[in-house]
Amino acid sequence: MTRLELRHMRKSFGALEVLAGVSLDVGAGEFVSILGPSGAGKSTLFQLLTGAIRGEGDMRFDGAPLDGARFAFMPQRDALMPWRRVIDNATLGLEVQGMTRRAARERVAPLFAEFGLAGFERAWPAELSGGMRQRAALLRTVVQQRDMLLLDEPFGALDALTRAAMQRWLEGMWRSHRWTALLITHDVREAVLLSDRIYVLSARPARVVREVAVPLPRPRTDSAALAREAAAIEAGILDTLLGQPTPINDHPMENRND
């Protein structure tokens, strides 16, 4: 079942055309990534989704015009508030929704172990490692129990090893929870490891140049066979990204009759 449908999304900032007609779908319980060059307009697309800015095009969720409140959004920087303890950062989204801090703490506390943060409830953000901070930020995002997660380069600021560990952890978390998720990333390997499907964007003004299904079995742990298949998918995507602007649509959205 399709949950999110974007059709022909366009956005310009003055004379700068950023999105030149982006169409994509995300199904229920599907993990989809958007890959594209820096400055292509990926974050702009998320701003349109959350209603932070307006553009042209059609955005639907479960068939109805989109309402930004559907999404729980995790930004590039973890944005933990340094003056709130970790548990009080985790409750922030719920408190903004009107829940009392006490009720919000009761909801988030049992999740600390699953997010690898047990024992750090009363720590300050500065006492956490980079990976722990990102897990705390993701905890704050998912407890809001919105219909869909928007993840904007959640691991972009982490060192390579922590990033690899976090990607595996997120893949495991997604398998347990089956969140409907849309991830923005520059990292082809990350997109292949995590996603069911990947939309590859062109450089600005962005359009979808390729839609790639990732039919690899899960869990996506290290087996030689899986690594070979993943590497072949990665290589194909890199060819598309580096060889732009040649459009190679595997399943061209723009040609659908809808």
Ligand X SMILES: Nc1ncnc2c1ncn2[C@@H]1O[C@H](COP(=O)(O)OP(=O)(O)OP(=O)(O)O)[C@@H](O)[C@H]1O
Question: Contact residues for ligand X (CB under 6 A)?
Answer: 13, 16, 18, 36, 38-44, 186, 204
Give the SS3 label for residue 167: helix
CA distance 115 to 63: 33
Nearest to ligand X of 16, 227 (CB atom): 16
Please state the closest distance from residue 90 (CB atom) to ligand X, in A: 26
CA torsion 22→73→119→97, rounded to 10°? -160
Please state the closest distance from residue 18 (CB atom) to ligand X, in A: 4
Nearest to ligand X of 28, 79 (CB atom): 79
CA distance 204 to 40: 4
Nearest to ligand X of 13, 97 (CB atom): 13
Q: Which amino acid is at 119?
A: G
Please state the closest distance from residue 188 (CB atom) to ligand X, in A: 13
Please state the closest distance from residue 206 (CB atom) to ligand X, in A: 7
Nearest to ligand X of 75, 252 (CB atom): 75
Please state the closest distance from residue 40 (CB atom) to ligand X, in A: 4
Contact call for residues 212 and 250 (beta carbons, < 8 A): yes
Nearest to ligand X of 16, 231 (CB atom): 16
Backbone Cα Rg of the chain: 18
CA distance 185 to 42: 9
CA distance 207 to 173: 30
- Tell me the sheet residues that pair with 5: 25, 60
